[in-house]
Structure 1
Amino acid sequence: MSFAQIALFSIFAAMMVLMFWGRWRHDLVAFAGLMAAVLVGIVPAQQAFSGFGNPATMVVALVLIATAGLTRSGAVSRLTRMLASDRRSLTGHILLFCGVGGLLSGFMNNIAALAMLMPIDLQAARKAGRVAGLTLMPLAFATILGGMLTLIGTPPNLIVSGFRAEVLGEPYRMFDFLPVGAAVAVAGIAFIGLFGWRLIPVSGRGGPVGAADGARRYLARLVVTEASSLAGASLGDARADALKAGVRIIGLMRHGHAVSDDPDAAILAPQDVLLLRAAPSSLDEFRAADRLAFPDGRLEPRARKDVEGQSLLECLVPVGADIIGRSAQSFGLVNRYDSVLIGMRRRGVALRDALPRQEIAAGDLLLLLVPESRAEDVLAASGLLRIDGGSLPVQRDGHMRTAIGLFALAVLATSLGLVSMPIALGVVVIGYVLTGVLSINEIYDHVDWPVIVLLGAMIPLGIALDETGGTALIARLLAGLTEGYPAWIALLLLMVTTMCLSDILNNNATTIIAAPVGIRLAEELGVQPDAFLMGVAVAAACAFLTPIGHQNNTLILGPGNYRFGDYWRMGLPLEIIVLAVALPMLLIVWPL
C-alpha cells in the first residue's frame, strides 16, 4: 500500500469512528476529513470544493426545494388527510400508510415524504388510542424502501447515476431503478405490514399516545369563504370534518353575534366566523383543506386576502418588550405591519374575547400571522421572541395545481430524456418562484445544508479513493475472497458490506465510497458494472439497524419513544429480505 492509500484509509477510518460516536455532526466530520486530505496532499487544493458543484449535490438540493413546494401548496396534505381513520385495523393502517409513503417517496425526497406523513400518523394513533411507536418505525422504513423506485427518490440513486455517467458516459434514467426497487419495496412493505411491526420491542410501545401531541393550542377564528367546501354545510358536519385535522369547533359567529339556537343545525354561509381550538399546524391544515380564510384582524373579522407568503409565528412576550401594555390594535399590528393576532395564551390558558383589544402582558404567548417579508420587522419593533420551532409557513392551497403540474412536467421531461434531472428541477424551482408557490426569500430555507455539506465533502474524498488506487485495492480484496465463485457471490458480498457500512455511516457517504468499489470489482471480474452499481444503491439505501444510518430513522427516534437498540429487531430480517429479493432481480434486470 502506498502512503496516499494508507493516509486516506486512515482518514476514512477516523471519520467512521467519529460518525458512529455521534458527538459531532456527520457534515462537520466529513468536512474535517476533506480538510485533512487536502493538508496531507491526497486531494489537490484546487479540487477540494469540486463536490459542491457536482450534479448529484445540486439535484439533492433542488429535490428538497421542489418537494417543499408540493408541501407548501397543500397538495400532499390534502391527499394524506383522507387516510387517517380510527376504524381501520392496525395492520390495515400500517399497510395503507406504508404503501402511500413508499409511493410518495418514489417521486420526492423520502425524508420529505416521512415529514409529511408523520403528523398524520401521530394524529391517527391518538384517535385510535394506540401509541405512536407501533406505526412510526414501519412508516419510516417504508419511505426508505420507496425511495428506491426512481432516480430522485433517494440520494444514493443520484450518486450512483453520477458515477455511471463518468464511467459509461450516460447516467441512469428516471425509472431505471423501478424493476428492482419496486420488487424490493413491495416485499419489504408486505413484511413490515403483516409481520414486522410485531417485532417492535416493548420499549418502543411504551411511549405516550400521540407522542407529538404536546403542541400548544389556541382559541382562533377562521372565516367561511364563498369557495369554501363548508359553505352550505351544517355546523355539525363541519365539526366532524374539523376533527379529522385535530381541530375542535367551539362556536359560530354571524354578523358579530354568536349563534346559540341549535348551532349544530345552523347552515354555514360566507362571512360566518368559526371559533376553534387548535394547534397552529392543525389550524392551517383545516383552513387549507376546506378553503377557509384567516381573519383580517378587525373586531368583526372578515376574510384576509393572501397577497404573499405568510407564516404563523409563536412568540413569547419577554419582560421589557415594547408591546407590553398595548393591544394588537393600538400597536398597529394590522395597519402598520399587515399582520394579525390569531391566538393568545396567558398563564397556560387560551384567551378568547376581543383579541385585537386585549392588553398584552409579559409572559404571554402570541400566535401571529405575518407576511414572510415583514416577520423580522414585527419582531424587532415589538420586542417579541420567536419560540424555537414556532414558525410554520402557511399552506398556499391556491397554488396546488400549479405546483403539481410543474413537478409532473419535470418528471415527464426527465423520463422521456428531454432534459437532465438537475435542469428539470431547476426549471421547477424557478417556476415555483415566478408563480408564487414559494417566495424567493424562502427557497434556501428548505435545503438540508448539512446533507449538502456532507455530499460536497465526501465526493472529492471518494474520487481520491479511486485515483489513489484505494477502490481497486478493495475490489481486488473482495475479488480474492470470492475467487473461484460465481460473480453474483462477489455482488452479494459487496451489498452486505455496503449495508453494514450504511448502518453505521451516513447512506450518502457510504454510496460515495462503495460505488467506485463496485465499478472496480466489476472490472476485476470482467462483467458489466450496472448490477454492481444498482446493488450499491439498494444496499446503501437500506439502513434499518440503527437510528443513525438514515435521517428517517433519526426523525422518529423521539416521537416513537425508541431506544438505539430497538431498530435491529425489525430491521435485521428486513435487510435479509431486501438481499434475498434484490440479488436475483439485479441478475435478471441487469445481467452480468
Structure 2
Amino acid sequence: MTYEQIVLFLLLGLVLAGLMWGKWRYDLVAFGALIVGVVLGVVPADTAFSGFGNDATIIIALVLVVTAGLSRSGAVDLITRHAVSRDRSLPLHISIMGGIGAVFSGFMNNVAALAILMPVDLQAAQKANRSPASSLMPLAFATILGGMLTMIGTPPNIIIAAYRERAMGESFTMFDFTPVGLVCALAGVAFIGLVGWRLIPVRDKGAGAELRAAASYTTELVVTEKSKAKGQRVRDLDGAAEEHDCAIVGLVRRNKRMPGRARWEKIGKGDLLVVHGSAEAISALAGALQVDLQGRSGESAELSSDLKIVEAVVTSDSRVVGRIANDVRVMQRNGVVMLGLSRRGRAITERVRRTPLEVGDVLLLLGHQDAVDDVITRMDCLPVASSVAVTRHEKALAAIGLFAAAVGVGAFGIVPLTVALGAVAVLYVLFDILPVREIYESIEWPVVVLLGSLLPVGMALETSGGTQLMAEGLAVAVEHVPAWVALAAVLVFTMTLSDVLNNAATAVIFAPVAFGLAQIMGVNPDAFLMAVAIGASCAFLTPIGHNNNALIMGPGGYRFGDYWRMGLPLEVIIVLVGVPAIMVFWPL
C-alpha cells in the first residue's frame, strides 16, 4: 500500500471509531478528519472544501428548507386531519400512520416527517388510553422505509446519485429509486402493521406524557365569510372539535358573550367561537373550520410568516396581576396579541381578554419574536416554552403546488433538481410561506458539515486506489459465489455498518467500494449502488443508527435493547425482498 492509502485508511478508521464512540459530535469528527487529511497531504488542499458545493450537500440542505415550508403552511394538516381516531384498532392505526409517514418521507426529510407526525401519534395514544410505545417505533421505522422511495427522501439516496454521476457521467434520476424502494417499503410497512408492533415491549402507559402534557387554553376564533362554521349551530361543531381534542364552550356576538354555551345558536359572520384546548389543537381546529385567530380589534388577525406564538406564565411579581389583557398597554404598543389564557386547565367563563389575570395563569401570546420577548420581560412574566411558528393554513395549497412543480421539473430533467428546489425556497419567501431567517434555521448544519467534510476524504480514498483495494479484497472473499450472493453481502454489510454509523457517512464510505467490486466481478454497478442505498437507509437495530430511532426513545419509553426485537426481523425481510427486487429492476 502507498503512503496515501495507509494514512487514509487510518484516518477513516479513526473517524469510524469517533462516530461510534459518540463523545464528540459527528460533524466535528468529520471536519477534524478533513483538516488532518489536508495537513498530512493525503487530501488535496485545492479540493478540501469542494464537498460543501457538491450537489448532494446542497440538495439535502434545500430539502430541509422545503420541509419547513410545508410544515409552516399547514400542508401536512390537510393530509393528517382524519388520521387520528380513537375507534380504530391498533394495527389499522399503525398501518395508516405508517403509510402516511412513508409517503411523507419519500418527498421530505424523514426526520422532519417523523417530527411532524409524532404529536399526532401521541394524541391518538392518549385518546385510545394506550401506551405510545406500541405505535411510535412502527411510525419511526415507516418514515425510515419511506425515505427510500425517491432520490430526495433520504441522504444516502442523494449521495449515491451524486456518486454515480461522478463515476459514470450520469446521475440516478428522482424516481430511479422508486421500484426497489417501493417493494421494500410495502413489505416493511406490512410487517410492521401486522406483526412487528407485537414484538415491542410495552412497560408504561404514561410513557411520553411529557410531550402530551400541554397547557389547555381558552381562546376566541373569528368566524369569517368563508368559514365552514358559518350557518351551523354551535352543537353541530362538536364532532370537529372532539376530533381535534378541543371543546367549543361558548359564542361571542357583538362583543358580548352569549349565556351558557349557546349550543343552539346559529353561527354568523363576525361571531367569535370560544374554544378550549391546547395551542396545537386549537390551531388544527382553526384550519379545519377555516376560522381565524383574533387580532387586537377583535377581528381576524393579520398573519405573516415571521409571527411566533409564545407561552408565558404570570408570576407573583408580575405587573399584570389583577389586570385584563385589553388594558395592558405594553402589548398594544408592541403589536402583541393575547390569543388564549390557561388557568389550571379550566375553561374561562368570561371574555378571554376581559378576564383579570391571576398568578399562575399561562398566556398564549402572538407577535414578532423580539416584540413578544420584550413584552414578556416588561410584564415580569416568565417564558415557559420555546416559540411556536404560526401555521398558515391558507398557504397550504400554494406550498404543495410549488413543491410538486419543483419535483416534476426536476424529475423530467427540465432543470437540475438543485435549481428547482432552490427556486421553491425563494418562492416560499416571496409568497410569505417561510420567513428568510427560518431558511437558515431549518437547515441541519451538522449534517451539511458532515457531508461537506467526508466527501473530499472519500474522493481522496478513491483517487489514491484505496477503494479499489477494498473492492479487490471483497472480490477475493466472494470470488467463488454467484453475483447475487455478493450483492446480498454488500446489502448486509452496509446495513450492519449503518446500524452503528450515520447513514450518510456509511453511503459516502461504501459507495465507491461497491462500485469497484461490481467492476471487478463484471456485473452491473447500478445494482450494487442500489444495494448500498437500501442498506445505508435501513438502520433498525439501535437508537443510534438513525436520528428517527433516537427521536422516539424518550417519548416511547424505550430502552437500547428494545429496537432489535422488531428491527432484526425487519432487516431480514428487507434483505429477502430487496435483493430479488434489485435483480429484477437492475439486472446483474
- Please indicate the TM-score interval, normalised by the length of the shorter structure: over 0.9
Counterpart position of 2:147: 147
What residue is the counterpart of 1:2 in the other structure? 2
Q: Does 1:367 align with 2:364?
A: yes
Q: CA deviation at 1:36?
A: 2.7
CA shift in 2, pair 1:195/1:346, >3 Å: closer
The answer to whether the 8 Å contact 2:217/2:341 transfers is: yes
Q: Does 1:72 align with 2:72?
A: yes
Alignment equivalent of 1:487, drawn from 475, 483, 487: 483
Worse-matched range after superposition: 179-188 or 276-285: 276-285
Aligned to 1:121: 121
Q: Tell me what 2:254 maps to.
A: 255
Aligned residue identity for 2:158: L
Residue 456 (str. 1) matches residue 452 (str. 2) = yes
Task: Return the alpha-carbon distance in structure 2 between the equivalents of residues 270 and 103 of structure 1.
Answer: 38
AA aligned opposite 1:337: N
Which amino acid in the other structure matches residue 7 of structure 1?
A: V
Q: Aligned pair 1:539/2:538, yes or no?
A: no
Give the aligned residue type for 1:97: M
Please, which of 494, 497, 504 is the counterpart of residue 508 of structure 1?
A: 504
User: Which deviates further from its counterpart, 486-495 or 259-268?
Assistant: 259-268
Give 1:285-300 correspondences, 5 Å limit.
285-298=284-297
Alignment of 1:226-237 (within 5 A): 226-237=225-236
> Which stretch shows the higher mean deviation, 99-108 or 341-350?
341-350
Cα distance in structure 2, aligned partners of 1:386 and 1:449: 27
Residue 387 to residue 209, structure 1, CA distance change in 2 (3 Å) = closer
Aligned residue for 1:134?
134
Paired residue type of 2:249: I
Q: Contact conserved, 1:131 with 1:210, CA < 8 A, in 2?
A: no
Worse overlay, 272-281 or 359-368 = 359-368
Using a 3 Å threshold, how does the CA distance of structure 1 residues 413 and 373 change in structure 2: closer, same or farther?
Answer: farther
SS at match of 1:185: helix
The within-5 A match list for 1:286-365 is 286-298=285-297, 301-307=298-304, 309-316=306-313, 328-345=325-342, 353=350, 356=353, 365=362
Task: From the superposition, tell whether residues 516 and 386 of structure 1 become closer, same or farther in structure 2 (CA, over 3 Å).
Answer: farther
Partners of 1:235 and 1:533 in 2: CA distance:
58
Equivalent runs, 1:132-281 vs 2, <5 Å: 132-203=132-203, 207-208=206-207, 212-260=211-259, 263-281=262-280
- Correspondence list, 1:52-91, <5 A: 52-91=52-91
Q: 1:408 to 1:44 in 2, by over 3 A?
A: same
SS in 2 for 1:490: helix
Cα shift at 1:39: 2.9
Distance 1:551 1:336, change over 3 A: same
Q: Cα 1:375–1:461, aligned 2, differ >3 Å: closer, same or farther? A: farther
1:84-103 matches, within 5 Å, as: 84-103=84-103
CA separation in 1, counterparts of 2:38 and 2:317?
A: 51
In structure 1, how many angstroms separate the alpha carbons of the residues matched to 2:69 and 2:261? 42
State the identity as a percent. Answer: 46
Size of the alignment, in residue pairs?
588
Q: Distance in 1 between matches of 2:450 and 2:346?
A: 44
1:528 Cα deviation from its structure 2 partner: 2.3
Provide the TM-score with structure 1 as the length reference. Answer: 0.93
For the residue of structure 1 that corresponds to 2:275, the secondary structure is strand
Could you tell me how far 1:28 is from its partner in structure 2? Answer: 2.4
Any conservation in 1 of the 2:148–2:182 contact (CA below 8 Å)?
A: yes
Q: Distance in 1 between matches of 2:260 and 2:215?
A: 31
5+ residue gaps, structure 1, are: none
1:404 and 2:400 correspond: yes
- SS of the aligned residue for 2:553 comes to coil
Unaligned 5+ runs, structure 2: none
C-alpha displacement of 1:319: 8.2
Which AA in structure 1 matches 2:312?
A: C
* Cα distance change on mapping 1:361 and 1:87 into 2, 3 Å: closer
CA distance in 2, matches of 1:362, 1:449: 41
- State the shift of 1:347 in Å: 7.5
Equivalent position to 1:572, from 565, 568, 573: 568
TM-score normalised by structure 2 residue count: 0.93
Distance apart, 1:207 and its partner CA: 4.3
Q: 1:352–1:372: structure 2 CA closer, same or farther, 3 Å change rule?
A: farther
Bigger CA drift: 97-106 or 43-52?
43-52
